[in-house]
Amino acid sequence: MVRRLLDVRKASFAPMDDAVRLTGMEYGGITPIGLPPQWPVLVDSRVIAVPHAVVGSGVRHGKIVVPGPALGILPNAKVVQGLARE
């Protein structure tokens, strides 16, 4: 499903060094908030239905709590029905 949504043959995570350099965040703490605008953020439709979601804070040992609907309105977000498994 992810490959189809991104219109690519192969999808994988960015190499650690690239992800850290391009986001300015620590590896293991990268959050969907503040990502480069050309990076799509795929959000399962069930996430935006929860009152609160816990996401990375940009540092490895930190988390932040955000309203679930806020993740669906990020500039680079695409809300997808059935993206995650139950």
6 lies in some domain = yes
Question: pTM of the full predicted structure?
Answer: 0.80
56 lies in some domain = yes
86 lies in some domain = no
Could you report the per-residue pLDDT of 4-37, keeping only the tens digit for each?
A: 877 788 888 889 999 999 999 998 899 999 888 8
85 lies in some domain = no
58 lies in some domain = yes
Boundaries of domain holding 39:
2-80
pLDDT at residue 86, as a whole number: 76
Residues 6+ apart with CB under 8 A from 86: none
Could you report the per-residue pLDDT of 29-74, keeping only the tens digit for each?
A: 999 998 888 888 999 999 999 999 999 999 999 999 999 999 999 9
Domain count, the chain: 1
Question: How many angstroms from the chain centroid is the CA of residue 15?
Answer: 16
